[in-house]
Amino acid sequence: MTDLPVFREFRVESAREGLVHLVFDMPDRSMNVFSNAAIHELGRFAAWLRDSDVAGVVIRSGKSAFCAGADLNELGVAYDMIMQSPRGERGRVAYDHFFPLSQALRALETSGKPVAAAINGLALGGGCEFALAAHYRVLTDSPRTALGLPESLVGLLPGAGGTQRLPRLVGVAAALPVLLEGKRLSPVEAMLAGVADIVVPVGEEVAAAERWLLSKPRPTQPWDEPDWHKGDEPAALRTVEQARQAVLAASGDRYPAPLAILDCIAGGFPRPMDEAIAWEMDVFSRLIQRPEPRNMIQTLFLGKLEFEKRAKAASLPTELDTIETAILGALRFEIETGKAAGLPLDVIDAAVQELGIGAAAARLHTALPVPGAAAGSLVAGGESAGLWFEGVLTDPVQALAARLLARSAAAVSPYADRLAAADQRVIDYALVASLGFPAYLGGPFALRRYLGGSIPG
């Protein structure tokens, strides 16, 4: 047997009758996440496992939860690295950077050794994908335990096999709420769906996993069996297309992640797993180059965390209320300008809904109109991502919606130079949460940066 590699993010412990435990226990972290270091360690473990003489592996966590998913701070660094590469090389750079987790999980499930996951606490995102790559999944009967793939909620897709393994386990229709809406599965829901094999009381999960491993199970995933049948493939693909039409009807192509997830399923479900995960990574590598995922991570994850921390400490930016009032006033001014120019009320209402700020409609109607910079066509200050508002808009609803966006960005301009980036991120989150500002744009400050810091007139 080859020597066991040295690990820092994981540790390997010997157990009874030739079993080993792979314990995910990142030092100096309260929660396990898939950092680059953890990903490459997992790949080295899977390579070692194939040539080892162990009887089986229990995957478990050394924390109070299993794994929360990706390291989103590292993800932001990776985004910058990708976007700083020549345009024609970005897809390859993204693929090469992110595919190692998929490769590690695939190597784990094809190692020829049985692998059981003992899950207590949350297993989200990459943590859920880690569990899905095990041959057997034990969940604790605890309200803190859940499986989920929430990547779409921050503009991404599960890029380590989640869009491929989950539909194969539970069927496409049952997988879609988890993949598209971020639905979490409780232990009982996971077992009924076929994701979990058994639910046990807290403290008994490791023993249950070991019992299964010592029963000498076949160490093969269902989709790797020669006689595996994935069910009614045409019906599954029709389900995907129906979901695509529902997404387009609800939000158009404003949020590209749900559509990319559906592309992953449609293109990957008919293929063998090795080809399917490569296809998934192709789609992921295109999606990660878009501004929407970065905006949503910065605002809905990092901005939200910082907002909640500072709200608890009563240390939110002092400019928050003033900026919110300025934006409402600027939007009201543009709406009143439109009315004076003869815009029908149904066009105005539709534009407000188009932006997703309908929840703030009552506050808009009572806001004091505040004149600002005249709103013209919105154009990226740097490289364009081809967002819907760029260029000449002939549809009156979209044209007004774009002018409302311009007013919002103009309203925060006086504060941009004197507020730190962290303050801007907190305020962006607050405005997304309170006004319904489009999350895919990240907030008015993020939009202003996209426009190069200047608002056209």
Q: Would you please indicate which residues are annotated as catalytic (active-site) residues?
A: 70, 126, 129, 151
Give me the residues paired with residue 14 across strands: 20
In contact, 230 and 269? CB cutoff 8 Å: yes
Helix axes 90-109, 273-287, angle to 10 degrees: 150
Residue 131 to residue 196: CA distance in whole angstroms: 9
Q: What does the angle CA 226 – CA 229 – CA 231 come to, to the nearest 5 degrees?
A: 170
Residues 6+ apart with CB under 8 A from 238: none
Contact 239, 176 (CB under 8 A): yes
Numbers of helices and strands, H then E, in the chain? 19, 9
Residue-wise DSSP of 109-172: HTSSS-EEEEE-SEEETHHHHHHHTSSEEEEES-TT-EEE-GGGGGT---TTTHHHHHHHHH-H
> ∠ CA 306-312-315 to the nearest 5 degrees?
70
d(CA 437, CA 355): 7
Residues paired with 200 in a beta bridge:
140
Closest by CA position to 209, among listed 160, 156, 136, 154: 136
Q: Residue with structure tokens 């389900």?
A: 239
Eight-class DSSP state of 375: P
Question: What Å distances lie between residue 295 and 68, 405, 442, 444, CA to CA?
Answer: 20, 15, 4, 11
| Helix, strand, coil percent content, the chain, rounded in steps of 5 | 55, 10, 35
Q: Are 23 and 13 in contact (CB under 8 A)?
A: yes
The label of the residue with tokens 């319904």 reads 436
